[in-house]
Amino acid sequence: MNSLQTNNAPNSSVVVPHFIFGAINLFVLAILILLANANLFEAYFNTKLIAITHMAVLGWATMIVFGALYQLIPVVFETSLYSEKLAKFTFWISAVSIIFLTYSFWIGAFSTLLIYAALLMFFSLLLFVVNVLLSYKKSAIKNTSSKFIIAAILWLAVTELIGTIIALNFKFGFLTVIHLHYLKIHATVGLIGWFLMLIIGVGSTLLPMFLISHNLKYKKLDISFILLNMGLIGLISNWFLVQNVLFTVVCWVLIVVGVLLFISFIYESYKKRIRKKLDVGMQYSMLAIASIFLPIIISLVVLVGFNLKFEILSRVIVLYGFSIIFGFITTLILGQTYKTLPFIIWLEKYKSLVGKVKTPLPRELYSKQIATIQFYLYLFFLVTIPIGFLMNNNGIIKIGSYSLLAVSILYNINVLKIIFHKVKNNENE
Amino acid sequence: MNKQEIAQFELNTLELLKNVMDPEIEINIVDLGLIYELYYDGDKKINVVMTFSTPSCPLGDTIKTNIQETIKQKYPNFTIDIDVVFHPQWNTAMVSEEGKRILGL
- Kindly report, residue by residue over A147-187, the tens digit of the pLDDT: 999 999 999 999 999 999 999 988 888 877 666 778 889 99
Rg (CA), chain B: 14
Cβ–Cβ gap A212/B25 under 8 Å: yes
User: Would you say residue A135 lies in a domain?
Assistant: no
The residue in chain B having the minimum alpha-carbon distance to the alpha carbon of residue A364 is B23
In a domain, residue A94? The reply is no
Average pLDDT value for residue range B90-105? 83
Range of the domain at A338: 277-349+359-419
- Provide the 3-class DSSP secondary structure of residue A218: coil
| Host H or E run for residue A349 | helix A331-350
User: Which residue in A has a C-alpha nearest to residue B95's C-alpha?
Assistant: A274
pLDDT value of position B1: 75
ipTM score of the complex?
0.77
Mutation target to probe the A interface, by most A beta carbons within 10 A, among B13, B24, B78 is B24
Chain B residues contacting A, CB < 8 Å?
20-21, 23-26, 52-62, 64-70, 72-73, 84, 86, 89-92, 95, 103-105
Which residues are paired to B35 by β-bridges? B50
**Dihedral class, residue A244 (left if φ above 0, else alpha if ψ from -120 to 50, else beta):** beta
* A3:B26 CB<8 A: no
Average pLDDT over residues B31-52: 93
Q: Contact B40/B9 with Cβ under 8 angstroms?
A: yes
pTM score, whole prediction: 0.87
CB contact under 8 A, A343 and B103: no
Say yes or no: A300 contacts chain B, CB-CB below 8 A: no
**What DSSP designation does B29 have?**
T
pLDDT at A331 (0 to 100): 94
**Cβ–Cβ contact A4 with B under 8 A:** yes
Tell me which chain B residues have a C-beta less than 8 angstroms from the C-beta of A213. Answer: none
For B5-19, the pLDDT digits (tens) are: 999 999 999 999 999
Residue A347 touches partner B, C-beta closer than 8 Å: yes
Say whether B58 and A347 touch across the interface (CB within 8 A). yes
CB-CB neighbors (< 8 A) of B84 in chain A: 3-4
Tell me which residue in B52, B56, B95 faces A78 most closely, judged by beta carbons: B56
The reported pLDDT for the residue numbered A305 is 65
Q: Which pLDDT does position A256 carry in this prediction?
A: 96
Mutate to test the interface with B, among A2, A6, A72, A343 (most CBs of B within 10 A): A6
* Contact partners, residue A161, CB within 8 Å, separation at least 6: A122
Cα A303 from Cα A114, distance rounded (Å): 31
Beta carbons of A144 and A216 less than 8 angstroms apart:
no
> In whole angstroms, what is the distance from residue A170 CA to residue A114 CA?
9
The burial of A142, by beta-carbon neighbours within 10 Å (0-12 exposed, 13-18 middle, 19 or more buried), is given as exposed
By Cβ distance, the residue of B21, B60, B92 closest to A6 is: B60
Helix (H) or strand (E) holding B27: strand B27-28
Q: Do A347 and B26 touch (CB under 8 A)?
A: no
Cα B71 to Cα B77: distance, rounded to the nearest angstrom: 10
- Flag whether A286 is in a domain: yes
Q: Do B67 and A355 touch (CB under 8 A)?
A: yes
Domain membership flag for residue A397: yes
Q: How many domains does chain A have?
A: 1
CB-CB contact of B51 with B64 (8 Å): no
**Closest-CA distance of chain A to residue B1, Å:** 28
Residue A398 resides in a domain: yes
The verdict on residue A103 lying in a domain is: no
- In angstroms, the CA A387 to CA A181 distance is 28
Mutation target to probe the A interface, by most A beta carbons within 10 A, among B34, B62, B83, B86 is: B62
Question: For position A425, what pLDDT does the model report?
Answer: 54
Measured between CA atoms, the residue of chain B closest to residue A72 is B58
B57:A7 CB<8 A: no
Partner-chain residue, chosen from B20, B72, B92, that has the shortest CB–CB distance to A274: B92
Long-range residue pairs from A162-169, CB within 8 A, at least 24 positions apart, any chain:
A162/A186, A162/A189, A163/A118, A163/A121, A163/A122, A163/A190, A164/A118, A164/A119, A164/A121, A164/A122, A167/A110, A167/A114, A167/A115, A167/A117, A167/A118, A167/A119, A168/A115, A168/A118
The answer to whether A335 and A288 have CB atoms below 8 angstroms apart is: yes
Q: Is A210 on the interface with B (CB under 8 A)?
A: yes
Of A402, A395, A397, nearest in space to A386 by CA: A397
Domain membership flag for residue A83: no
Residues of chain A below pLDDT 70:
1-7, 41-45, 177-179, 305-306, 425-429
The residues near A272 (Cβ < 8 Å, ≥ 6 apart) are: A211, A213, A214, A215, A216
Cross-strand pairs, B47:
B39, B81
Q: Centre a 10 Å sphere on the Cβ of residue A222 and count the other Cβ atoms it contains.
A: 14
Q: What pLDDT score was predicted for residue A399?
A: 95
The B79-84 sheet, strands edge to edge: B35-40, B45-50, B79-84
d(C-alpha A382, C-alpha A36), whole Å: 18
Q: Work out the burial of residue B44: count CB atoms within 10 Å of its CB; fewer than 13 is exposed, 13-18 middle, 19 or more buried.
A: exposed
Phi, psi (degrees; rounded to nearest 5) at B38: -140, 120
Three-state DSSP class for residue A233: helix
Structural domain contains residue A52: no
Measured between CA atoms, the residue of chain A closest to residue B67 is: A355
Q: Does A78 touch chain B (CB under 8 A)?
A: yes
